[in-house]
Copies of this chain bind each other. A is one copy, B any other.
Amino acid sequence: MAEFGPKQRVGGMAAPESEKSRLDEAARAGWLYFIAGHTQDEIAKLLQVSRASAQRLVSLCLAEQLITFRLEHPIAACMELASRLKDLFHLAYCEVVPTDPAQPLTAAGIAERAANILESTLRGDKPTIVALGTGRAVRAAVERVSPIDCPNHQIVSLVGNISTDGSASFFDTVGRLADRTRARHYPMPLPFLMSSKNERDQMLRIDPIAKVRAVAAKADLRLVGIGQMDQSAQVHVDGFVSREELFEMMRLGAVGEVVGWAFDAEGRVIAGGINDRLTSIPLQVPAEALTIGAAVGRAKVAAIRAALKGRLINGLITDEATAGAVLG
Contact in complex: A72, B79 (CB < 8 Å): no
Contact in complex: B36, A75 (CB < 8 Å): no
Stoichiometry, as copies per complex, reads 2
Contact in complex: B75, A31 (CB < 8 Å): yes
Bound-state Cα–Cα, A74 to B28, Å? 10
Question: Given A28-B79, A36-B79, is A70 in contact with B71 using a C-beta cutoff of 8 Å?
Answer: no
Q: How far is the CB of A75 from chain B (nearest CB, A)?
A: 4
Question: Which of A61-83 touch B at CB < 8 Å?
Answer: 61, 65-76, 79, 83
Cβ-neighbour of A75 out of B24, B48, B75 (below 8 A) = B24
| Interface check A241, CB cutoff 8 A | no
Question: Which of A9-56 touch B at CB < 8 Å?
Answer: 23-24, 27-28, 30-32, 34-36, 48
Bound-state Cα–Cα, A27 to B65, Å? 21
| Interface check A116, CB cutoff 8 A | yes
How many residues on the A side are at the interface (Cβ–Cβ under 8 A)? 28
Bound-state Cα–Cα, A69 to B34, Å? 7
| Interface check A120, CB cutoff 8 A | yes
Question: Given A116-B48, A120-B48, is A72 in contact with B68 using a C-beta cutoff of 8 Å?
Answer: yes
A-B contact pairs, 15 of them (CB 8 A): A24-B75, A27-B71, A27-B75, A35-B69, A35-B71, A36-B79, A36-B83, A48-B116, A48-B120, A61-B71, A65-B72, A67-B71, A67-B72, A68-B70, A69-B70
